C-alpha cells in the first residue's frame, strides 16, 4: 500500500468516526445495538511508487539529500541481465554513466565514472554497500575490486558530486549498492536462480530472507564460472553476504553484516591496435592470474533518541588482499608469452601481493527543530578511519603457467602505507516556506599519511599531514506537488594515492612532485513527474578540477616513448544530464488489456577540457562528449520485454589527445554503439524464465586502455552473448 493510499484510508476512517460520533450522540438513548457502517476504502495509487528511477527523499534517517542531484535505481523494476552483471543495463537509466568493462579480462569489478572523470575501477567515486565503504583504501588506494552481484541488490543509490560533504571528498560522488532485506514477522523466503550463458558461463544464486519477532535476516551466495569469450579468460568466483538485525526496543536497533568475495581470474592480457583490429577476441598471454579475496564486516546501530532526534553508527572492518602473478608489462601489449630458445621454458613471472586492513567509524546525528514556524533539520557527523596497505612487488616467480604465487627471489619493493583520517561535517536544511529550503554545509578533513619500507628506486619514507576544509550550499523548490527544482555547489578534493608513489604493475612513470587535486561541483536541475505518463530529471552541471592528475605521453631525450602520471592542469567540465521516461499508452488513456509501454532516454553531454598549461584546449581523458542510452519496455500479462540501445562517443586516454600510437597504452577509444535485449516470462507466482542477448550486433569495441594489468594495452569488450535464467521463489 502506498503512502497516498494509507493517507486516504486514514482520512476516510476519520470521517467515518466523526459521523459515527454524531449519529451515536443522537441515537444512544434510543438504540445501542446498531451495527457499525463500514465505508469503502479509497485507493489512491502513486504512479511513482514503482518507477525504475526515482530521487532520494529530502531527509532519510540521519542523512540529508535536499537540493542534491540523486538517483535510486530499483532492480525489481528492471528487465535486464542481472545474472551477468551487465553494468550498462543495470545502470543504463543513469545519465552520463561512463563504464569501463573489464570484468571478463582481470579486474573483478566494472568501473563507473561521471562528468569526464576516470571510470577505471571507479577510482573517483565513493563506492559503498549498505552505506559501508568497500574499496581498498578510500584515501590511499580507492580502487573497487568487490561489488555485490546484481541478483542480490534491492537498489542502487547515487548522489553526484555534492555528496562530498556527507560521505567523503570524491569528485564523482557516491554510489551505494543496497542489498535486499528481510521483512519482520515473515517466514523464510528462498530465491534460487540458475543461469547459463555463452562461453561456458554459469551462475548459481541462492538467497534467504525473513523475520521472527525482533529479528530480521538476509543472506545470499553466488557461484560463477566461465571459460570466457577470449582464450585465457576463465573465471571461478564466489561472493556471499549475511545480515542480521535486532530490534532491541521500538526505538533502537542493531545490525551485523559480513560480505566476502573469493575468486581466481585468468587474465588474457591486453592487445595492441593491430591485434585488436585483426581479431579482438584473441589472447597472447596465458600465464597471468589474479586473486582478490575480499572481506567486509560491519556493525550498525540506529537509535531514535527523541521524536525529533536520530543517531546512527556504522563501524566497519575491511580486510582483503590482491595477489597477482603475471608476465609483466615488459615489451608492451605486443609481447607474447614465449619460451626461452636456450632452456625451452618460459621466463619467470613476476609475483606481487597487496593486503588492506581498514577500520572505519561513521556516526551521524539528525535533529529537527522549529524556526520561522517551520520544522528545520540539522544533520551532523564524524568519521574516523585507520588504514594500512602493505605492498610487495617485483618478486621473481616460477616458470609455470598456472596460478602459483611461489616466490623464488625476494621482492624489489616492500612498502607499508598508513593513513589516519578524522573528518566532521554539518548540513542544515533551512525551510523558508512549505516549498523552499536552503541547505548550507561544511566538512573538515585531517589526513595523516606514513610510509616505510624499500623500493627498487630512491624512496624516502616520510609522514605527510594535510587538512582540507570543504563548503557547500544547496537549495530545493517544490515547483508543483510532483516536481522539484534543485541547485547545489559543493567543494571536493582528491588526495595523492599510494599507487602514484609506487605504481603497482604499471608501465607509467610517476611525477615525483605530485600535488593533491581540488575543485568543486555545481548542479542545477528540475525533476519529478507530469501526471502518470512522464517522469523526468533535467540537469546541468559544472565541474572545476584543479591540479587534475592524468597521463601525459611523450618521447624522452634517448628517443624512448614514455607515459607519465602527473598534475596535468586545471580542467573544466560542463554539460547536461537528462532522463526522460514516457508511458505513451497511459498518456493516450489506452485500456489496460493493451499492456504497458515505457520509452526512456538517459543522455549525458560533457564538454571537459584543460583550460591552462601545455594542453590547454585539449579534451580531458575518459571524457566522451555524448553518452546516450535509449530503451523501450513492453509488458503484457506475464511477459516483459526490454530493448536498450547504448552509444558512447570517442574518448582519449592521455592529455596529449593521442589518436594513434605505437604504444597501445595510449590512444583514442573509438565511439561504440551496442544493442541489448532482455525478457522475463513469469510462469506462475513462484517461477519465471529470463533470457536475452547482449551486444546483439556483435560489435567489436573496447572501453579502456591501460598501462597496468589486466593489460597493458587495449582491453576488449565482449562480443555477442546469450543467457537464460530460471528463477524459483519459495
pLDDT digit string, tens, across residues 529-572: 999 899 999 999 999 999 988 878 777 777 777 777 788 899 99
- The C-alpha atoms of residue 717 and residue 700 are separated, in whole angstroms, by 7
Rounded to the nearest 5°, which phi and psi values hold at 353? -130, 145
CA dist., res. 114 & res. 604, Å (int)? 9
Residue in 176, 170, 132, 165 with CA at minimum distance from that of residue 428? 165
Q: Residue 27: its pLDDT value, please?
A: 40
Give me the DSSP letters along 258-284. EEEEEEEEEE---B-HHHHHH-TT--S
CA distance 295 to 136: 10
**C-alpha–C-alpha distance, residues 166 and 225, integer Å:** 38
Q: What is the DSSP letter of 717?
A: P
Q: How far apart are CA 413 and CA 396, in angstroms?
A: 12
Indicate the range of 166-180, 313-327, 582-596, 637-651 predicted with least confidence: 582-596
Distance (Å, whole) CA 276 – CA 704: 12
Helix (H) or strand (E) holding 486, with range, is strand 483-494
pLDDT of amino acid 501: 64
Strands (E), 583-625: 596-610
Looking up cell 572492518, which residue turns up? Answer: 317
Query: Phi and psi dihedrals of 593, rounded to 5?
Result: -65, -20
Q: Could you tell me whether strands 53-54 and 111-113 are parallel, antiparallel, or unpaired per DSSP bridges? A: unpaired
Positive or negative torsion for Cα 76, 81, 85, 87: negative
SS3 492: strand
Vertex 531: Cα angle to 527 and 534 (nearest 5): 55
Asked if 427 and 440 touch (Cβ cutoff 8 Å), the reply is: yes
Q: Chain centroid to CA 729: how far?
A: 27
Helix or strand (DSSP H, E) at 679: strand 672-682
Residue 710 Cα distances to 125, 269, 293, 704, 714, angstroms: 21, 6, 17, 11, 9
Residue among 446, 440, 552 at smallest CA distance from 493: 446
The answer, yes or no, to whether residue 258 has pLDDT greater than 50, is yes
Model confidence band, residue 334 (pLDDT cutoffs 50, 70, 90): low
> Which residues, including other chains, have CB under 8 Å from residue 727's CB and lie 6 or more apart?
191, 192, 193, 687, 688, 689, 690
pLDDT given for residue 12 in this prediction: 39
Q: Which of 7-21, 256-270, 654-668 has the lowest mean pLDDT?
A: 7-21
DSSP structure string for 197-248: ETTTEEEEEEEEEEEETTEEEEEEEEEEEE--SSTT--EEEEEEEEEEEEEE
pTM of this structure: 0.90
pLDDT category of residue 235 using cuts at 50, 70 and 90: very high
Three-state DSSP class for residue 653: coil
Per-residue pLDDT at 521: 96
For residue 501, report the phi and psi dihedrals to the nearest 5 degrees: -80, -40
In this predicted structure, what is the pLDDT of residue 35? 42
Range with lowest mean pLDDT among 119-128, 138-147, 426-435: 138-147
Count of positions (residues) in the chain: 730
Alpha helices (H) along 453-504: 498-501
| pLDDT for 436 | 97
Backbone CA torsion sign across 9, 15, 16, 17: positive
Which pLDDT score is estimated for 2? 40
Section 89-113 average pLDDT: 92
CA dihedral (400, 401, 407, 412) positive or negative: positive
Per DSSP, what are the bridge partners of residue 155? 74, 178
Strands 153-159 and 174-179: antiparallel
333 confidence band (pLDDT: 50, 70, 90): low
CB of 693 closer than 8 Å to CB of 720:
yes
* C-alpha cell read off for 593: 488489456
Instruction: Assign 584 a pLDDT band (cuts: 50, 70, 90).
Output: very high
d(CA 717, CA 695): 10
**Alpha-carbon distance 660 to 417, whole Å?**
37
H or E segment to which residue 165 belongs: helix 164-167
User: Which uninterrupted H or E stretch holds 365?
Assistant: strand 350-371
> Do the beta carbons of residue 198 and residue 230 sit within 8 Å?
no
Cell numbers 470521517 label which residue? 15
Question: What cell numbers appear for 89 in the block?
Answer: 543495463
Nearest to 650 by CA among 668, 674, 666: 668
C-alpha cell of residue 454: 624499500
- At residue 88, what are phi and psi to the nearest 5 degrees? -65, -20
**How many Å is the Cα radius of gyration of the chain?**
27
**pLDDT band at 7, cuts 50/70/90?**
very low
Q: What percent of the chain has pLDDT over 70?
A: 90
pLDDT for the residue 550? 80
Give the model's pLDDT for residue 513: 78
For residues 634 and 597, the answer to whether their CB atoms sit within 8 Å is yes
Distances in whole angstroms, Cα of residue 319 to Cα of each of 64, 180, 486: 30, 23, 39
> Which domains occur in the chain, in start order?
1-46 (no CATH), 53-727 (2.40.170.20)
Whether a cis peptide bond, with omega within 30° of 0, leads into 539 is no
How far apart CA 264 and CA 249 sit, in angstroms, is 44
Q: Can the peptide bond before residue 712 be classed as cis, meaning omega within 30 degrees of 0? A: yes
Q: Are 159 and 69 in contact (CB under 8 A)?
A: yes
* Band of residue 728 on the pLDDT scale cut at 50, 70, 90: very high
Q: Strand, coil or helix: what is 383?
A: strand
Cell of 97: 554513466
Can you read off the three cell numbers belonging to residue 532?
502518470
Amino acid at each position: 500500500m502506498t503512502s497516498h493510499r494509507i493517507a486516504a484510508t486514514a482520512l476516510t476512517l476519520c470521517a467515518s468516526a466523526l459521523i459515527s460520533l454524531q449519529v451515536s450522540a443522537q441515537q444512544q438513548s434510543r438504540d445501542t445495538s446498531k451495527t457499525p457502517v463500514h465505508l469503502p476504502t479509497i485507493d489512491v495509487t502513486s504512479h511513482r511508487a514503482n518507477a525504475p528511477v526515482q530521487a532520494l527523499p529530502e531527509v532519510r534517517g540521519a542523512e540529508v539529500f535536499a537540493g542534491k542531484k540523486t538517483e535510486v535505481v530499483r532492480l525489481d523494476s528492471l528487465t535486464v541481465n542481472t545474472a551477468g552483471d551487465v553494468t550498462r543495463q543495470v545502470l543504463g537509466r543513469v545519465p552520463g554513466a561512463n563504464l569501463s568493462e573489464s570484468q571478463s579480462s582481470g579486474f573483478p569489478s566494472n568501473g563507473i565514472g561521471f562528468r569526464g572523470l576516470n571510470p577505471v575501477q571507479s577510482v573517483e567515486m565513493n563506492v559503498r554497500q549498505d552505506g559501508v565503504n568497500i574499496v581498498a583504501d578510500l584515501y590511499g588506494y580507492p580502487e573497487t575490486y568487490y561489488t555485490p552481484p546484481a541478483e542480490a541488490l534491492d537498489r542502487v543509490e547515487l548522489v553526484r558530486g555534492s555528496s562530498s560533504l556527507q560521505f567523503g571528498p570524491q569528485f564523482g560522488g557516491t554510489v551505494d549498492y543496497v542489498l535486499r532485506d528481510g521483512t519482520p514477522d515473515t517466514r523464510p523466503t528462498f530465491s534460487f536462480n540458475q543461469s547459463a550463458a555463452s562461453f561456458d558461463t554459469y551462475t548459481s544464486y541462492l538467497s534467504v530472507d525473513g523475520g521472527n519477532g525482533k529479528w530480521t535476516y538476509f543472506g545470499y551466495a553466488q557461484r560463477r564460472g566461465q571459460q570466457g569469450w577470449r582464450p585465457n579468460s576463465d573465471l571461478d568466483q564466489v561472493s556471499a553476504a549475511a545480515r542480521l538485525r535486532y530490534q532491541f526496543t521500538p526505538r533502537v536497533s542493531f545490525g551485523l553484516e559480513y560480505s566476502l568475495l573469493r575468486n581466481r581470474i585468468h587474465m588474457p592480457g591486453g592487445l595492441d591496435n593491430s591485434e585488436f583490429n585483426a581479431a579482438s577476441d584473441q589472447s597472447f598471454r596465458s600465464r597471468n592470474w589474479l586473486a582478490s579475496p575480499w572481506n567486509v564486516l560491519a556493525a550498525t546501530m540506529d537509535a531514535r533518541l527523541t521524536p525529533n532526534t536520530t543517531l546512527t553508527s556504522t563501524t566497519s572492518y575491511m580486510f582483503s588482499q590482491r595477489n597477482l602473478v603475471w608476465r609483466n608489462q615488459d615489451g608492451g601489449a605486443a609481447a607474447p608469452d614465449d619460451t626461452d630458445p636456450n632452456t625451452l621454458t618460459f621466463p619467470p613471472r613476476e609475483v606481487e601481493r597487496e593486503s588492506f586492513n581498514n577500520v572505519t567509524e561513521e556516526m551521524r546525528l539528525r535533529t529537527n527543530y522549529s524556526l520561522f514556524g517551520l520544522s528545520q533539520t540539522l544533520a551532523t557527523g564524524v568519521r574516523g578511519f585507520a588504514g594500512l596497505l602493505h605492498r610487495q612487488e617485483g618478486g621473481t616467480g616460477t616458470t609455470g603457467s598456472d596460478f602459483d604465487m611461489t616466490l623464488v627471489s625476494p621482492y624489489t619493493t616492500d612498502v607499508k602505507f598508513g593513513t589516519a583520517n578524522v573528518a566532521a561535517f554539518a548540513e542544515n536544511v533551512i525551510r523558508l516556506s512549505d516549498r523552499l529550503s536552503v541547505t548550507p554545509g561544511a566538512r573538515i578533513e585531517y589526513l595523516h599519511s606514513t610510509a616505510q619500507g624499500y623500493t627498487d628506486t630512491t624512496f624516502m619514507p616520510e609522514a605527510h599531514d594535510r587538512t582540507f576544509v570543504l563548503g557547500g550550499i544547496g537549495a530545493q523548490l517544490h515547483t508543483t506537488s510532483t516536481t522539484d527544482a534543485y541547485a547545489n555547489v559543493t567543494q571536493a578534493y582528491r588526495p595523492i594515492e599510494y599507487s602514484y608513489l609506487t605504481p603497482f604493475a604499471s608501465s607509467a612513470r610517476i611525477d615525483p612532485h605530485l600535488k593533491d587535486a581540488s575543485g568543486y561541483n555545481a548542479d542545477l536541475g528540475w525533476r519529478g513527474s507530469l501526471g502518470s505518463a512522464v517522469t523526468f530529471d533535467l540537469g546541468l552541471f559544472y565541474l572545476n578540477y584543479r591540479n587534475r592528475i592524468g597521463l601525459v605521453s611523450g618521447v624522452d631525450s634517448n628517443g624512448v616513448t614514455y607515459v607519465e602520471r602527473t598534475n596535468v592542469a586545471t580542467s573544466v567540465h560542463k554539460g547536461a544530464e537528462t532522463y526522460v521516461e514516457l508511458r505513451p499508452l497511459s498518456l493516450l488513456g489506452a485500456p489496460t488489456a493493451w499492456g504497458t509501454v515505457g520509452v526512456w532516454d538517459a543522455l549525458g553531454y560533457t564538454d571537459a577540457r584543460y583550460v591552462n598549461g601545455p594542453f590547454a584546449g585539449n579534451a580531458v581523458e575518459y571524457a566522451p562528449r555524448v553518452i546516450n542510452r535509449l530503451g523501450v519496455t513492453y509488458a503484457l500479462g506475464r511477459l516483459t520485454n526490454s530493448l536498450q540501445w547504448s552509444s558512447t562517443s570517442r574518448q582519449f586516454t592521455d592529455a596529449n589527445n593521442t589518436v594513434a600510437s605505437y604504444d597501445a597504452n595510449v590512444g583514442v577509444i573509438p565511439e561504440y554503439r551496442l544493442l541489448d535485449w532482455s525478457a522475463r516470462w513469469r510462469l506462475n507466482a513462484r517461477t519465471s524464465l529470463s533470457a536475452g542477448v547482449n551486444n546483439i550486433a556483435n560489435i567489436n569495441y573496447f572501453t579502456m586502455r591501460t598501462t597496468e594489468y589486466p593489460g597493458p594495452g587495449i582491453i576488449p569488450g565482449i562480443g555477442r552473448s546469450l543467457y537464460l535464467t530460471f528463477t524459483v521463489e519459495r
